[in-house]
């Protein structure tokens, strides 16, 4: 009998799972249910749509031919209930849908602000394509925007709105940007980049209220007593996994849906992948969340294999992400600790998009820095390996150090030399990373 | 011969790797012709979020994003090595590198 696979969620985890299922089980029935009616699109690409760097249709992830070949039964509908014992889900419009294997890939949603006036027309967030369209429409009429929050999305909002010609005020609750990941000098590079684009930074400031003009935003009142007249308040204070469906069905849910290394939830034949899944750390046993594209792809693939009963180990190598922050391409990989020791970022009430909790692990070993005029490189070197790195503005170093961290290359031969000559330590590591990567390429070529 | 990046050594036959060499615009600068002979645009799927800026900026409409998704190099003979995709990629998922066998393997 044909096995009925049902996927809930049309983000990259769901799409990757659908493609993996089709590839490995060409005869299977694959149904994907999602509330969004748009073609599959790149959510991270919304930042570039907002900035005007590309048109909307470019965000589409697959061609019509690819989608035809995928032979997916795609339903635009909302799942109202999951009934794990009966192996079925209830849909708002189409009634009941039975499954043999179910994947929950419902992603995460932006946390709503709670300051007075948060529900006024003109207070906006950037969760999906509809939000981006709405923002673009509003940006055409607005002259001034206030951005609050942290992480990559807040900066993308500030950069995007500035690129659209708005005057942008960016409010930071603390002394600097993203203190839970970046060191002070790294934050400074982002802040300088934002200022260079015309964004005005306000430190130690938060919104105490939004002034109401017949239901619309007129101005933001800040904690220092300032009044910033504006038509838009863009908020990015973090995201939370969309767990409501799983929780109501009695699945084990912590912050995300608890899954094992095979992406299995606590309910039989129900799997979870992407932002919504909370994986246990194999060493500490603690639940860890990632809101990363690469994690969602890896988990979507692994979950599909598990749904087919095939064992394919999930890629658990150190997490990596690349972000454009204030015009500076920033790569974060592995354990990099918490900036200057602040585990919490006052600008975020939950994890940001593009963030991984595994980055917060305290890097054991010594940190080496390279600070140029337009770049910053930080490498954390443990006993034998490079355990983490933050690379801003240097593509070569970013690639080489990310390779060393993810491959777990033994760098102990450099050990004493690094400590004796810390000025050149990063350069030596980058050279080793490049050589090691090429050695790997040559080995693969010979094989 | 290990095929290290930047090496154009024995066994690296120009005729084989650039089959359409004669079709290239002779007005292209010599360094770009050399680049095309020994190198290509390489992709890093781990850094790529499939935003599509590369496809949008490719003057020939090549599917750079599709290559990046699978971690394949752009070995398309029509690639001009103009560098537009490399320059525009916001996440440094693209770069020029040696034509090695690693990315070309299925």
The CATH architecture of the domain made up of A112-237 is 3-Layer(bba) Sandwich (3.50)
Q: Binning pLDDT at 50, 70 and 90, where does residue A248 land?
A: very high
The CATH architecture of the domain made up of A320-446 is 2-Layer Sandwich (3.30)
Are A109 and A45 spatial neighbours (Cβ–Cβ below 8 Å)? no
Q: Binning pLDDT at 50, 70 and 90, where does residue A101 land?
A: very high
> Average pLDDT over chain A, rounded to whole?
93
Q: Which residue, A402, A408, A432, A434, is CA-closest to A418?
A: A432
Report, as an integer, the average pLDDT of A41-45: 97
The CA distance from A368 to A429, in Å, is: 10
Q: Taking the domains of chain A in order of start, what are their residue ranges? A: 4-109+240-307, 112-237, 320-446
Residue B12 confidence (pLDDT) above 60: no
Tally helices (H) and strands (E) across chain A: 11, 26
Among the listed ranges A53-62, A366-375, A435-444, which one has the minimum average pLDDT value? A435-444
The CA distance from A414 to A432, in Å, is: 9
Per CATH, A4-109+240-307 and A320-446 having the same topology is answered: no
Helix (H) or strand (E) holding A73: strand A73-76
The CATH architecture of the domain made up of B28-104 is 2-Layer Sandwich (3.30)
The CA distance from A251 to A263, in Å, is: 13
Q: Binning pLDDT at 50, 70 and 90, where does residue A223 land?
A: very high
Give me the pLDDT at residue B98, please: 77
Give me the pLDDT at residue B13, please: 30
Cα dist from A352 to A49, A59, A191, B92, whole Å: 19, 21, 18, 21
Q: Considering only the beta carbons, identify the residue of B52, B88, B93 that sits closest to A45.
A: B52
Give me the pLDDT at residue A362, please: 85
Q: Which CATH superfamily is domain A4-109+240-307 in?
A: FAD/NAD(P)-binding domain (3.50.50.60)
Residue B102 confidence (pLDDT) above 70: no
Q: What is the DSSP string of A300-360?
A: HHHHHHHHTT-------SPPEEEEEETTEEEEEEE----TTS--S-TT-SSPPTT-BGGGG
Residue range A48-79, pLDDT digits in tens: 999 999 999 999 999 999 999 999 999 999 99
For A397, name the nearest residue in chain B, comparing CA atoms only.
Answer: B92
**Nearest chain A CA: its distance from B20 CA (Å):** 24
Are A369 and A397 spatial neighbours (Cβ–Cβ below 8 Å)? no
Q: Binning pLDDT at 50, 70 and 90, where does residue A416 land?
A: confident
The CA distance from A149 to A125, in Å, is: 10
Q: Which of residues 255-314 of A touch B (CB under 8 A)?
A: 293-294
Reading the block at residue A156, the tokens are: 């993308």
Q: Taking the domains of chain B in order of start, what are their residue ranges? A: 28-104
Q: Kindly list the residues from chain B whose CB atom is less than 8 angstroms away from the CB atom of residue A322.
A: 47, 91-93
Residue A337 confidence (pLDDT) above 90: no
More confident site: A251 or B33: A251
Report, as an integer, the average pLDDT of A152-174: 97
Q: Binning pLDDT at 50, 70 and 90, where does residue B8 land?
A: very low
* Three state DSSP letters for A106-124: CCEEECCCCCCCCCCECEE
């Amino acid at each position: 009998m044909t096995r009925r696979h049902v996927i809930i969620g049309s983000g990259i985890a769901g799409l990757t799972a659908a493609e993996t299922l089709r590839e490995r089980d060409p005869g299977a029935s694959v149904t994907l249910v999602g509330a969004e009616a748009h073609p599959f699109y790149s959510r991270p690409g919304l930042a570039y749509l907002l900035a005007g760097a590309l048109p909307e249709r470019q965000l589409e992830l697959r061609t019509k031919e690819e989608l035809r070949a995928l032979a997916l039964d795609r339903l635009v509908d909302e799942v109202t209930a999951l009934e794990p014992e009966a192996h079925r889900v209830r849909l708002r419009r189409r009634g009941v849908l039975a499954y043999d294997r179910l994947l929950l890939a419902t992603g995460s949603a932006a946390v709503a602000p709670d300051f007075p006036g948060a529900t006024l027309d003109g207070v906006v967030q950037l969760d999906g394509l509809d939000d981006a369209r709405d923002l673009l429409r509003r940006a055409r009429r607005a002259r001034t925007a206030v951005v609050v929050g942290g992480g990559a999305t807040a900066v993308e909002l500030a950069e995007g709105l500035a690129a659209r010609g708005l005057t942008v005020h960016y409010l930071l609750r603390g002394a600097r940007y993203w203190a839970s990941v970046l060191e002070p000098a790294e934050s400074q590079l982002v802040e300088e980049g934002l200022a260079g684009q015309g964004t005005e930074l306000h430190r130690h400031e938060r919104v105490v209220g939004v002034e109401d003009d017949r239901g619309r935003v007129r101005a933001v009142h800040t904690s220092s007593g300032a009044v910033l007249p504006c038509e838009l308040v863009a908020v990015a204070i973090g995201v939370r996994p969309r767990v409501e469906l799983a929780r109501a069905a009695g699945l084990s849910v912590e912050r995300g849906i608890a899954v094992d290394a095979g992406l299995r939830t606590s309910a039989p034949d129900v799997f979870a992948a992407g932002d919504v899944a909370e994986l246990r750390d194999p060493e500490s046993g603690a639940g860890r969340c990632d809101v990363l594209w690469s994690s969602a792809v890896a988990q979507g693939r692994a979950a599909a294999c598990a749904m087919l009963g095939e064992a394919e180990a999930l890629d658990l190598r150190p997490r990596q992400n690349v972000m454009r922050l204030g015009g500076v391409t920033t790569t974060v990989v592995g354990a990099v600790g918490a900036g200057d020791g602040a585990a919490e970022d006052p600008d975020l009430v939950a994890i940001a998009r593009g963030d991984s909790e595994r980055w917060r692990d305290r890097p054991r070993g010594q940190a080496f820095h390279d600070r140029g005029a337009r770049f910053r490189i930080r490498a954390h070197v443990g006993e034998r390996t490079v355990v983490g790195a933050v690379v801003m503005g240097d593509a070569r170093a970013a690639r080489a150090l990310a390779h060393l961290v993810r491959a777990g290359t033994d760098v102990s031969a450099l050990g004493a030399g690094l400590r004796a000559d810390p000025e050149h330590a990063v350069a030596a590591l980058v050279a080793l990373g490049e050589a090691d990567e090429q050695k790997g390429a040559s080995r693969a070529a010979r094989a | 011969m290990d095929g290290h990046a930047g090496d154009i050594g024995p066994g690296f036959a120009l005729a084989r790797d650039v089959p359409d060499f004669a079709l290239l615009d002779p007005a292209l600068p010599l360094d770009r012709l050399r680049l095309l002979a020994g190198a290509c645009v390489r992709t890093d799927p781990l850094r790529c979020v499939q935003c599509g800026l590369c496809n949008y900026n490719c003057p020939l409409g090549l599917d750079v994003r599709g290559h990046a998704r699978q971690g394949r190099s752009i070995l398309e003979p029509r690639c001009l090595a103009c560098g537009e995709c490399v320059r525009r990629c916001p996440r440094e998922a693209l770069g020029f590198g040696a034509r090695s066998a690693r990315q070309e393997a299925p």
